[in-house]
C-alpha cells in the first residue's frame, strides 16, 4: 500500500542521513514529521525522545510503517511485546519502539542486503556454515510473515488477538523449527526476529528503537559518550547519570537517523 506523502517525507529526511554528525532534524522522530506533513495535529507535543519518569513504562509510540503492511505490523507488534514484555518498572520492546526500528531497518539498505554475500548456488549446509538462504532480510520477513498470517487466518485467530500464553506457545513453536514459512524455516525466521528485536531494544536510539533509552536505563549502560579515565579505578562506583545517545543535543533531543549506512566513514566504502 503506497502513501505518496509518506514516501516523499522519507526521501527528504533520508538525504540528510549519511553524514558524520547526526542530521539536525527538527526535534522529534520521523513519525512526527510525517504527521505534520499530512496535516494531522502534532499529537505528541514533546519530542519522541523526551525522557520521562524512570518508574513507569512509556506508552507504545505511534509508528508510521513504511515496510510492514498493516497485518505484518500487527503481528510484529504483538510478537515483540512477548519477546521482551514490559513490566511495572521498565517498558519492553513495544514501548521501546522496536517495531519502528525494524520497519526502518528492513525497509532500508540493510533489509535490501547490505553487506550480504548474495551469490548462489544455495545449499542448506551444516549449522556451522551459517545462513545459506537466498533471501535478503526484507524478503525473508515478507515471506515468513505472509506465511504465518495465512496459517493463522486459516486457523481462525490472528496472532495479535491470541492470549499472551498462546502467543508465547506459538513463538516457541516457531523457535523450535520444523515449519516452512514460504521457503523460510521457522527457526531461521525466529532467529532473525529475535536478533532484530535484541538489536532494536539495545541499540542507540538514533536508529528509532530503544526509545527513551529504556534498555540502557534498565541495565545502567551510560551510552555513547564515554570517557572514564578518572572513574575506572574507583572500583564499584555506581554510575547513575542519564545515558547519552550519539544523536542527542544539549536539550537531550535525539535526532533520529535510521539510515546510517553500515560502512566506515568517511565515504562509506
Partner 1 sequence: MATLLKPVDVVTIGVGLTGSLAALELGQAGLKVVGLERGSGRETVPDFQSPPIHDELRFAIRKAFMQDNAKVAVTFRNASDQTALPIRRWESFLPGQGPGGSFVHWNGQSFRAQVADFIWRTHTIQRYGQKFLDSCGPELTIQDWGVTYDDMEPYYARFENLCGVSGKAGNIKGQIQPGGNPLEAPRSGEYPNPPQKEPHFGAIFRKGAESLGYHPYPQPSSNLSRAYTNPLGIKMETCIFCGFCERFACPHYAKASPQTIILPVLLQDPNYELPALCEVLRINLDSTRKKATGVTYVDDTGQEFEQPTELVLITAFPLNNVRTLLLSGIGEPYDPKTGNGVVGRNYSYQTTGGPTIFMDESINVNPFMASGACGTMIDDFSGDNFDHSNLGFIGGQYVGAIMTNGRPIEFHPTPTGTPTWGLEWKQAVARHYNHTILVQQHGTSASSRLNYLDLDPMYKDAWGQPLLRMTFDFPENDIRMSQYIADKVVEIGRAMGGKQIIRGGTKRPYSVTFYQSTHNAGGAIMGDDPKTSAVNQYLQCWNVPNVFSLGASAFPQNITYNYSITIGALTLWALDAIKNKYLKSPGPLVHS
Partner 2 sequence: MPGGRSPRFGPLGFIIGFVQAQTQQPSQIARGAVIAAQGTPTGAPPCSQCHAFNGVSDASGAFPRIAGQSAYYLAKQLRDFASGVRTSALMTPIAKALALSSDNIADVAAYYASLDAPFLPLNPPDPALVKRGEQLAKIGSDKQRVQACDNCHGPEGAGEPPAIPYLAGQYAHYIDFTLDTWRTGFRKSSPESMEVVAKKLDDQDLAAVAAYYQQVRGSGDVGAPQ
**Complex with partner 1: residue 39 or 130, whichever CB lies closer:** 130
Per-residue x/- track, 48-67, partner 1 (CB under 8 A): --------------------
C-alpha cell at position 224: 555513547
CA 45 vs. chain centroid, Å, equals 23
Q: Which of residues 50-79 bind partner 2 (CB under 8 A)?
A: 50-51, 53-54
C-alpha 6/C-alpha 76 separation (Å) is: 21
Residue 50 partner contact from partner 1, partner 2, none using kind-dependent CB cut-offs of 5 to 8 Å: partner 2
Neighbours of 125 (CB within 10 A): 10
Is 204 a binding residue for partner 1 by CB under 8 A? The answer is yes
Contacts 24+ apart (CB under 8 A), 197-204: 197/80, 197/83, 197/84, 197/93, 197/98, 197/102, 199/101, 199/105, 200/80, 200/93, 200/96, 200/97, 200/98, 200/101, 200/102, 200/105, 201/84, 201/93, 201/96, 201/98, 203/101, 204/245, 204/246, 204/247
Per-residue x/- track, 224-263, partner 1 (CB under 8 A): xxxxxx-xxx-xxxxx----xxxx------------xxxx
Residue 37 partner contact from partner 1, partner 2, none using kind-dependent CB cut-offs of 5 to 8 Å: none
Q: Which of residues 237-266 bind partner 2 (CB under 8 A)?
A: 237-242, 244, 248-253, 255
Q: Of 15, 24, 112, 176, which one interacts with partner 2 (CB under 8 A)?
A: 24
Q: Of 62, 168, 177, 252, which one interacts with partner 1 (CB under 8 A)?
A: 168
Contacts with 81 (C-beta within 8 Å, 6 or more apart), sequence order: 92, 93, 94
Is 42 a binding residue for partner 2 by CB under 8 A? The answer is yes
**Shortest Cβ distance from residue 226 to partner 2 (Å)?**
8
Q: Are 65 and 73 in contact (CB under 8 A)?
A: yes
Per-residue x/- track, 222-241, partner 2 (CB under 8 A): ---xxxxxxx-----xxxxx
**Complex with partner 2: residue 53 or 119, whichever CB lies closer:** 53
Element (H, E) at 180: strand 180-181
Residue 7 partner contact from partner 2, partner 1, none using kind-dependent CB cut-offs of 5 to 8 Å: none
Q: Number of residues in contact with partner 1, rule: CB under 8 A?
A: 74
Amino acid at each position: 500500500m503506497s502513501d505518496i506523502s509518506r514516501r516523499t517525507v522519507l526521501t527528504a529526511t533520508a538525504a540528510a542521513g549519511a553524514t558524520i554528525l547526526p542530521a539536525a532534524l527538527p526535534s522529534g522522530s520521523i513519525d512526527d514529521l510525517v504527521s505534520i506533513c499530512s496535516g494531522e495535529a502534532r499529537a505528541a507535543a514533546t519530542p519522541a525522545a523526551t525522557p520521562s519518569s524512570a518508574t513507569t513504562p512509556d506508552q507504545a509510540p505511534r509508528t508510521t510503517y513504511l515496510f510492514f503492511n498493516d497485518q505484518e505490523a500487527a503481528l510484529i507488534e504483538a510478537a515483540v511485546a512477548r519477546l521482551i514484555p514490559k513490566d511495572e518498572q521498565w517498558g519492553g520492546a513495544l514501548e521501546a519502539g522496536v517495531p519502528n526500528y525494524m520497519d526502518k531497518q528492513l525497509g532500508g539498505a540493510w533489509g535490501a542486503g547490505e553487506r550480504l554475500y548474495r551469490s548462489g548456488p544455495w545449499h542448506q549446509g551444516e549449522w556451522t556454515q551459517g545462513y545459506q538462504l537466498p533471501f535478503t532480510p526484507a524478503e525473508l520477513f515478507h515471506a515468513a510473515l505472509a506465511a504465518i498470517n495465512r496459517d493463522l487466518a486459516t486457523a481462525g485467530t490472528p496472532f495479535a488477538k491470541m492470549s499472551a500464553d498462546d502467543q508465547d506457545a506459538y513463538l516457541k513453536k516457531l523457535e523450535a523449527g520444523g515449519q516452512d514459512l514460504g521457503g523460510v524455516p521457522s527457526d531461521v525466521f525466529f532467529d532473525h526476529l529475535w536478533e532484530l528485536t535484541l538489536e532494536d531494544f539495545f541499540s542507540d536510539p538514533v536508529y528509532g528503537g530503544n526509545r527513551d533509552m529504556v534498555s540502557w536505563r534498565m541495565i545502567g549502560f551510560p551510552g555513547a559518550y564515554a570517557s572514564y579515565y578518572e572513574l575506572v579505578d574507583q572500583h564499584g562506583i555506581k554510575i547513575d547519570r542519564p545515558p547519552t545517545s550519539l544523536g542527542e543535543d544539549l536539550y537531550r533531543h535525539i535526532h533520529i537517523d535510521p539510515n546510517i549506512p553500515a560502512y566506515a566513514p568517511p565515504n562509506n566504502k
